Amino acid sequence: MERFEIQQPAELLLPEAPDPWAYLRRFTTARIAIGRSGGSQRTSSLLDFRLSHARARDAVMTDFDVAELDDLLKNAALETIHLASAAQDRRDYLLRPDHGRTLAESSRELLSSHVGAALPDLVPIVSDGLSAVAAVRHAAAVLVPLLASLKASGWHISPVMIVPFARVKLQDEIGAALGARFTLMLLGERPGLGAPDSLGAYFTHSPGPDKSDADRNCVSNIRKEGLEPALAARKIEWLLKESAHSGLSGVELKDSEPTSRLPDT
Amino acid sequence: MPYSITLGRSSHHFETLGRLMACATPLRSGDVLAGVAAASAEERVAAQFLLAEVPLEDFLNHPLIPYEDDEVTRLILDSHDASTFRSISDLSVGEFRNWLLDYETTGETIAAIRAGLTPEMVAAVSKIMGNQDLVLVASKIRVVTAFRSTIGLPGCLSVRLQPNHPTDDIHGIAASTLDGLLYGCGDAVIGINPATDSVPAMDRLLHLMDDLIRKYEIPTQSCVLAHVTTALRCIEMGSPVDLVFQSITGTEAANKTFGINLGILAEARAAALSLDRGTVGKQVMYFETGQGSCLSADANHGLDQQTCEARAYAVARAFDPLLVNTVVGFIGPEYLYDGKQIIRAGLEDHFCGKMLGLPMGCDVCYTNHAEADQDDMDTLLTLLGVAGCNFIMGVPGSDDIMLGYQSSSFHDSHYLRQVLGLKPAPEFAEWLEKMRITGQGRLLPVEPKNPLLAHGKI
């Protein structure tokens, strides 16, 4: 899977009682020069760390506010369909990745009732994944401009599928059921300490059970301090159109995409 | 070969030795995910009763993965020394545990029978051992290796300095490296996980570290944790490669998904040895492992994840490594659910590696979706220190901004050295004093004119 990321800018926030080399903090967001008491961490850096971890944990455990996301999408005149994966709850989702990769039986039936005469060019899917906060905060901000632009280019877009507790591969089942040319899944990424609300976008050309991660493209680190949602929308649109044009996706698309390389800083 | 036991009114039946091993394994989410875990707590203990009675010889006679199907099995059986094994061949798994705990059994005694041990025997005995047994027996064993520093001596604890950066930014990596050195860390290796696995990226990072190590005459070694084939190409083009890194696992099929086999590892080791860059030793390989990698690659052959992990150590020991690191909590909660499972796995891996003669270190770590926190890591860190772990990671403030997980901090190594009276590798300890970074075992206040800081002002 090819990944596209943007590095967050280094902030020069100084810890209390830093080490004399604190000026090096402008080169990295790593927790360097944080000072010490004896050989141990000072109270302030210990608590800073705990706060970051608490936010990341809360991001993982927060319930997916499906209604809020639904409102954001409907306000932009986007239709939605609510589906469920086979995962029973968050614990089951974390322990059984296979459940997050499959649709619940009831959702299969619901989906089959939506198969229409015109097969969609793109099926957009949103899930909380490992950060519901990311999905609620950024998914609409990516989808609204992206889908408007694709529609203007003549793409036939299905309603947005909202699926709690999904893994990336679930898009293959949904896409195959609807005969989609592309699926695009936006879901909350595993929260890092500095980034509890990072959204990832994964798209697949000709989705189906035989597809693997190597067949997908990923645009990651979508959040205000990382790759801004509006920029992410443009990037995804460019990649989707490139993929539609070349018929390639995943690792193969990488080599034909000049901006895919990380900036050489 | 089926195994059966009746405990009170209930009887338990296990169809194969592999099944018995899996059911005897202390509960962990990865074995449940694989569908190989015991169905109940009682079934688990029943399996342990039966496993305790299995003669060690059975592991030679009934390979868990057939000899014909798997090159790791062939490596294990072809390198097994039958004459050494004779002295313990009449022991069962349970008797072997008793033998290991005996006052008379020392690190030297264990080393003397080591060539007769297979990973499966070691994994089996670990399954019936408690955490304290894993600590006690491991603490008897010292495995000492060397390149520019000597790692694993009694009373020593070394640190891998891990200065990762999300875009491999040279200045960002240099800043974290200086931070670690000024905190007295880096005697095991300065090891960077690159964001981009490519020859030019690796070459650039290698030169950064080589310049630093030579300029300040730091008695340590560098490593870029790129794929072994990337390292080989760097060696061919003349890059300053100290150690060759590779992630390895315990089955041929899983190693294949990592793009490696035993042949390519041998080729890489020979290439690194040909550079002859070590001063006090010639061990040039750095391996990383971790429970769950075989299942993750869909190549576990129905075995439990801890048995697969022990088999990875057979791969490691064939290449005389400087460092072996079990990255225990990185894989996530579907394999090791919480702090309890991570702690247990860390102790098992350290024990099994040491039993097989490996210079074991541990990445004491967790991800944000695991049920674990710093307190769990403090516990595992302390237990591993008592068990005599060769090295741990050193990450600025525990927060790896590239890999997005939490590992041990530079500060953590000072905690462990203080409470257990441990020292860095002797060559590195001497350098730290010369550089006025430490004195009498303590960190000194760093003067602004410290030469390392002068380097930071690039």
A125-184 pLDDT per residue, tens: 999 999 999 999 999 999 999 999 999 999 999 999 999 999 999 999 999 999 999 999
Instruction: Calculate how close chain A gets to B248, using CA atoms only, in Å.
Output: 21
pLDDT band with cut points at 50, 70 and 90 for residue B455 = low
* Cβ-defined contact of A94 to B32 (cutoff 8 Å): no
Nearest by CB to B404, which of A94, A190, A263? A190
Query: What's the gap in Å between the CA of B409 and the closest CA on chain A?
Result: 9
Per-residue model confidence (pLDDT) at position B401: 93
**Partner residue facing B176 (CB), from A28, A60, A265:** A28
Instruction: State how beta strands B391-394 and B158-161 pair.
Output: parallel
**Strands, E assignment, B346-420:** 360-363, 391-394, 399-400, 405-406
- Sheet strands (E) in B90-218: 145-146, 150-151, 158-161, 189-192
Q: Mutation test of the interface with chain A: which of B157, B178, B368, choosing the one with the most A Cβ atoms within 10 A?
A: B368
Q: Does some domain include residue A14?
A: no
Burial A166-196 (b: 16+ CB within 10 A, else e): bbbbbbbbbbbbbebbbbbbbbbbbbbbbbb
Nearby residues of A230 by Cβ (< 8 Å), 6 or more positions away: A141, A145
At residue A12, does pLDDT exceed 90?
A: no
| Of A29, A34, A262, Cβ closest to residue B401 | A29
Take residue B307 and report the two structure tokens written for it.
């048995």
- Backbone phi, psi, residue B160, to 5°: -85, 120
Token couple for B23 = 């059911």
**Dihedral angle of Cα B435, B440, B445, B448, to the nearest 10 degrees:** -10
Q: What is the pTM of this model?
A: 0.92
Burial of B36 (0-12, 13-18, 19+ CB in 10 A): buried
Find all residues with CB under 8 Å of B380, minimum gap 6, and list them.
Answer: B328, B339, B342, B343, B346, B347, B362, B364
Shortest CA distance from A10: residue in chain B: B172
pLDDT for position A136: 97
Report the alpha-carbon distance of residue A201 to residue A194 in Å, rounded: 19
From A20, which residue of chain B is nearest by alpha-carbon distance? B448
| Min Cα–Cα distance to chain B from A192, Å | 5
Instruction: Give the confidence band of A254 by pLDDT, cuts at 50, 70, 90.
Output: low
| Record: contact A190-B373, CB cut-off 8 A | no
Structure confidence at residue B407 as a pLDDT band (50, 70, 90) = very high
Collect all residues of chain B within an 8 Å Cβ-Cβ radius of residue A54.
Answer: none
What pLDDT score does A233 carry?
97
Query: Greatest CA span in chain A, whole angstroms?
Result: 71
How many structural domains are present in chain A? 1
Per-residue model confidence (pLDDT) at position A256: 42
- A207 part of a folded domain: yes
Residue among B169, B195, B367 whose CB faces A190 most closely = B367
pLDDT (mean) for B148-158: 98
* Torsion angle in degrees (nearest 10) through CA of B365, B366, B368, B370: -170
Output the pLDDT for position A146. Answer: 98
pLDDT above 70 for A257: no
d(CA B170, CA B180): 15
* Rounded average pLDDT over A233-240: 95
Q: Say whether A30 and B165 touch across the interface (CB within 8 A).
A: yes
Nearest to B317 by CA among B103, B145, B433, B92: B145
Q: Choose among B130, B64, B50, B139: nearest CA to B93.
A: B50
Mean pLDDT computed over B183-209: 95
The beta-carbon neighbor of B175 closest among A28, A96, A193 is: A28
Q: Which of A5-14, B264-273, B290-299 is least confident?
A: A5-14
CB contact under 8 A, A33 and B179: yes
Task: Answer yes or no: is pLDDT of B18 > 80.
Answer: yes
Give Cα B135 distance to the centre of its chain.
15
Across the interface, whether the CB atoms of B415 and A10 are under 8 A apart is answered: no
- Say if the Cβ atoms of A265 and B167 lie within 8 Å: yes
Q: What is the pLDDT of residue A13?
A: 67
Beta strand B391-394 with B399-400 is unpaired
| CA dist., res. B447 & res. B8, Å (int) | 71
User: What pLDDT is attached to residue B1?
Assistant: 79
Chain B contacts of A134, Cβ < 8 Å?
none
pLDDT at B456: 55
Whether the per-residue pLDDT at A265 is higher than 50: the answer is no
Question: Is the pLDDT assigned to residue B322 strictly greater than 50?
Answer: yes
* pLDDT surpasses 70 at A11: no
Kind and range of the H or E run holding B325: strand B323-327
Residue A1 has pLDDT above 80, yes or no: no
Q: Does residue A124 lie within any of the structural domains?
A: yes
In chain B, residues with a C-beta closer than 8 Å to the C-beta of A192 are: 368, 401, 404-405
Q: For position A264, what pLDDT does the model report?
A: 33
Question: Which of the four pLDDT bands, split at 50, 70 and 90, describes residue B457?
Answer: low
Could you report the per-residue pLDDT of B56-81, keeping only the tens digit for each? 999 999 999 999 999 999 999 999 99
**Facing residue for B404 by CB, picked from A7, A95, A192:** A192
pLDDT digits (tens, 9 = 90+) for A210-221: 998 888 988 988
Q: What average pLDDT does range B293-319 have in this prediction?
A: 96
In this prediction, residue A250 carries a pLDDT of 80
Nearest to A190 among B33, B168, B369 (CB): B369
Provide the CATH number for the domain around residue A102.
3.40.50.11240
The answer to the question of residue A170 being in a domain is yes
What pLDDT score does A3 carry?
Answer: 52
Do B397 and A31 make contact, defined as CB atoms within 8 angstroms?
yes
Q: Which pLDDT band, with edges at 50, 70 and 90, does A117 fall under?
A: confident
- With 80 as the cut, is the pLDDT of residue A6 above it? no
Q: How far is A147 from chain B (nearest CA, A)?
A: 30
Which residues in chain B have their CB less than 8 angstroms from residue A21's CB?
Answer: 178-179, 182, 446, 453, 456
Round the average pLDDT of chain B to a whole number and report it. Answer: 96
Residue in A20, A30, A50 nearest the CB of B401: A30
Measured CA to CA, the distance from residue B320 to residue B241 in angstroms comes to: 17
Segments forming the whole domain that contains residue A206: 65-252
Q: Is residue A232 part of a domain?
A: yes
pLDDT of residue A247: 86
A-chain residues within 8 Å CB-CB of B182?
19, 21
SS (H, E, C) chain A: CEEECCCCCCCCCCCCCCCCCHHHHHHCCCCCCCCCECCECCHHHHHHHHHHHHHHHHHHHCCCCHHHHHHHHHHCCCCEEECCECCCCHHHHHHCHHHHCCECHHHHHHHHCCCCCCCCCEEEEEECCCCHHHHHHHHHHHHHHHHHHHHHCCCCECCEEECCCCCCCHHHHHHHHHCCCEEEEEEECCCECCECCCEEEEEEECCCCCCCHHHEEEEEEECCCCECHHHHHHHHHHHHHHHHHHCCCCHHHHCCCHHHCCCCC
pLDDT tens digits for A64-75? 999 999 999 999
Chain A nearest-CA distance from B91, in A, is 38
Sheet strand arrangement including A122-127 = A2-4, A216-222, A199-205, A182-188, A122-127, A160-162, A80-82
Q: How large is the C-alpha radius of gyration of chain B? A: 22
Tell me the β-bridge partners of A162.
Answer: A82, A126
Q: Are B72 and B63 spatial neighbours (Cβ–Cβ below 8 Å)?
A: no
The rounded distance, in Å, linking the Cα atoms of B319 and B313 is 10
**Cα–Cα distance, B57 to A170 (Å, whole number):** 46
Proportion of chain B above pLDDT 90, given as a percent: 95
Of B333, B398, B401, the CB nearest to A94: B333
Whether pLDDT at B329 is above 70? yes
CA distance A6 to chain B (A): 9
- Report the gap between the CA of A17 and the closest CA in chain B (Å): 12
Residue A177 lies in a domain: yes
For the packed helices A105-112 and A170-178, what is the interaxial angle rounded to 10 degrees? Answer: 30
Question: Residue A7 is nearest to which of B166, B176, B446, comparing CB atoms?
Answer: B166
Predicted local distance difference test score (pLDDT) of residue A262: 34
Give B-chain residues touching A195 at CB under 8 angstroms. 404
For residue A169, list chain B residues with Cβ-Cβ distance below 8 A: none
Mutate to test the interface with B, among A13, A16, A28 (most CBs of B within 10 A): A28
pLDDT digit string, tens, across residues B335-364: 999 999 999 999 999 999 999 999 999 999
Please tell me the number of Cα atoms within 13 Å of A40 on its side-chain side: 9
User: Could you give the CA distance from residue B195 to residue A127 in angstroms, rounded to a whole number?
Assistant: 27
Report chain A's mean pLDDT, rounded to a whole number: 89
ipTM of the complex: 0.95
Q: How far apart are CA B207 and CA B286, in angstroms?
A: 19
Residue A148 in any domain: the answer is yes
What are the distances in angstroms from CA B66 to CA B51, B162, B304?
20, 39, 16
What contacts A106, CB < 8 A, 6 or more positions away? A84
Long-range CB contacts (< 8 A, 24+ apart) of A69-75? A69/A126, A69/A135, A69/A136, A69/A139, A69/A140, A69/A162, A70/A162, A72/A136, A72/A139, A72/A140, A73/A140, A73/A143, A73/A144, A73/A160
Least confident of A238-247, B12-21, B132-141: A238-247
Least confident range from A148-152, B64-68, B181-185, B448-452: namely B448-452
Quick one: residue B66, left, alpha or beta (phi over 0 = left, psi -120 to 50 = alpha)? beta
Whether A263 is covered by a domain: the verdict is: no
Residue B440 banded pLDDT, cuts 50, 70, 90? very high
Q: What is the pLDDT of residues B93-110, one digit of tens each?
A: 999 999 999 999 999 999
Chain A positions touching chain B (beta carbons under 8 Å):
5, 7, 10, 19-21, 24-25, 27-34, 36, 38-41, 45, 49-50, 52-53, 56-57, 59-60, 94-98, 130, 190-195, 262-263, 265
Strands B222-224 and B244-247: unpaired
